[in-house]
Amino acid sequence: MKLFRRAVFFLFAAIFLIGAPQLVFYTLGYSFKAGSEQGIVQSGLIFLSTAPPGAAIYVGGRRYRETTPSIIRDLMPGHYPIRLVLKDYFPWARNVPVEAGKATVLGSVLLRPRQPDWKTHILQTYDQLISIPATHHLLLQKDGDSGPVEIYDWKSKKRYPLFTAPELKSHFPENLFISPGSLAVLGIGKFDGKIQARLAKAGEEESGVSWTGAEKDFDPKQVKWDERDERYLFMRQENELKRADLYQKNASDFLSGVRGYAVDNRRVLYFSGQDFLSIDVTGKSPKAIWKDADSFLGEEGEIEIIPVSPDMVFFLTAKGRLVTNHPPRIIADEKVQGVQFDKKNQKLLYWTETAVGSAEWISHKPAMGTSELEIKKKTLFEGGRRIQTAFWAHDGAYVVYQDQNKVYLLEPQAFADPLVYELFEVKNGSQAFYSDDSGEVFYLDKNTGHLMSLELIPT
């Protein structure tokens, strides 16, 4: 009996001595891989989350016990075929890599419905749709560029006519201008020997200013104002910047030698042709921001200035060079058509006629010295014909873009080629608009001109 107990004791001791280290290694994310030269290998994991949630997970053809969102742990390094399945949605399938000691995060997988959610907002024919950035308003225009103008609040589902004062001519406005974040719309026209400017808001009385001038040659560029203070309107013609005062009902010269400007936080940011400067909207407190900016912005052509934060500004030259005031200065050397900045994730989206790219800034602190910003650039898609516009979607995980009259959903892949899905076609000459707040793409129907939307992100 003693011999038996001793044998049992040594058996359990051997099991403990062999199993305990493996248990410790397992809790630390390591496993023993039979036949491997490495012997003990650190495992990895995959995190999966979908919109909508609740998708069944298949790993290599075998169903995982949980649904999304979920973490699949203890995976040996390698590639795993992952398939996500949810009723009434197209399956999502990718070959997903796993690295030792790392997590492969797929936290924003968008499942496409088999029956898209189309909505008709207004059963009238429109020719133009213009979004007002950083608001929930859309500008709608009938009968071409000089027809009646309406504003549509896609949040409240209400619309309002603009520029309805009886003294205005039927062809007013000849030009329309918007300013990011402002709910006002500016219309400018020429009649009765004067230049007329009217600032209109949905459901509010219009304010305006008129002045005499070289009516024949008047062609304002880059008309802007501050969303926080709509008293002053700024209009650039040639390289002269004028300021219209809606309180005093007059307009006057403000700055000369201006190749581009923006109005932000009650200051006018402008490029003089050599330096990047700022001045208060009242004409006080001038300040130099970036000396000798012309070495990056060039010597000719109009400059579009896009402030996105108190310390970050983008510049887009006439030749499509995209520059920022943070080193390294140049993001793209030429042919950029437009940009969109995601403030939450600090990611820039930019596009040319044929490609879509992204850039993000990562704080880096050298061993000695202060923190520096590093830029990480990536081409998301190539092969377009004439890309009109693009938007970040699903919190920066996807891109909605319009190429000619067709709208597409782009799914960038960190470990594979991007996937592109065609969504619909818009009315010729119009542009679609996507809002991540509502998860919808707004557009004019290609046949009827009705205001429509397609829900991309389930609410």
Query: Mean pLDDT over residues 195-214, rounded?
Result: 73
Instruction: Pick the closest to residue 231 from 249, 213, 219 (CA basis).
Output: 249
Task: Name the CA radius of gyration of the chain, rounded.
Answer: 29
The Cα-based distances of 41 to 22, 35, 96, 385 in angstroms read: 11, 12, 19, 48
Domain end among 59, 91, 110? 110
Residues 137 and 63 both lie in one domain: no
Residues 129 and 47 both lie in one domain: no
Residues 84 and 124 both lie in one domain: no
Query: Mean pLDDT over residues 383-392, rounded?
Result: 97
Residues 434 and 458 both lie in one domain: yes
Domain assignment present for 256: no
pLDDT tens sequence across 89-124: 999 999 999 999 999 999 999 999 999 999 999 999
Task: Look up the domain containing 103 and give its range.
Answer: 43-110
Residues 62 and 89 both lie in one domain: yes
Detail the DSSP E strand segments found in 154-259: 158-162, 175-178, 185-191, 194-200, 207-211, 221-226, 229-237, 240-245, 250-256
Residue-level pLDDT at 189: 79
Residue-level pLDDT at 423: 97
Residue-level pLDDT at 416: 81
| H-only helix segments in 127-206 | none
Domain assignment present for 255: no
Instruction: Pick the closest to residue 160 from 202, 213, 220, 212 (CA basis).
Output: 202
Q: State yes or no: pLDDT of 265 exceeds 70.
A: yes
Domain end among 110, 129, 162? 110
Residues 440 and 352 both lie in one domain: yes
pLDDT tens sequence across 122-175: 999 999 999 999 899 999 998 766 678 999 999 999 999 988 877 776 667 888
Domain assignment present for 393: yes
Domain assignment present for 309: no
pTM for this prediction: 0.86
Instruction: Pick the closest to residue 315 from 369, 269, 384 (CA basis).
Output: 269
Domain count, the chain: 2
d(CA 66, CA 56): 7
Residue-level pLDDT at 246: 85
Find how far residue 187's CA is from the centre of its chain. Answer: 27
Residue 86 sits in a domain of what CATH number?
A: 2.60.40.1120
Residues 392 and 453 both lie in one domain: yes
Domain end among 110, 125, 157? 110
Residues 424 and 364 both lie in one domain: yes
**Which residue has better confidence, 25 or 282?**
282
pLDDT tens sequence across 301-335: 899 999 998 889 999 999 999 999 988 789 999 99
Residues 361 and 392 both lie in one domain: yes
Residues 417 and 443 both lie in one domain: yes
d(CA 59, CA 31): 19
Domain assignment present for 127: yes
d(CA 450, CA 438): 19
Residues 52 and 140 both lie in one domain: no
Domain assignment present for 61: yes
Residues 142 and 59 both lie in one domain: no
Q: How confident is the model at residue 366 (pLDDT cuts 50, 70, 90)?
A: low
Check the CA dihedral 89-91-97-103 and report its sign: positive
d(CA 42, CA 35): 15
Domain assignment present for 222: no
Domain assignment present for 128: yes
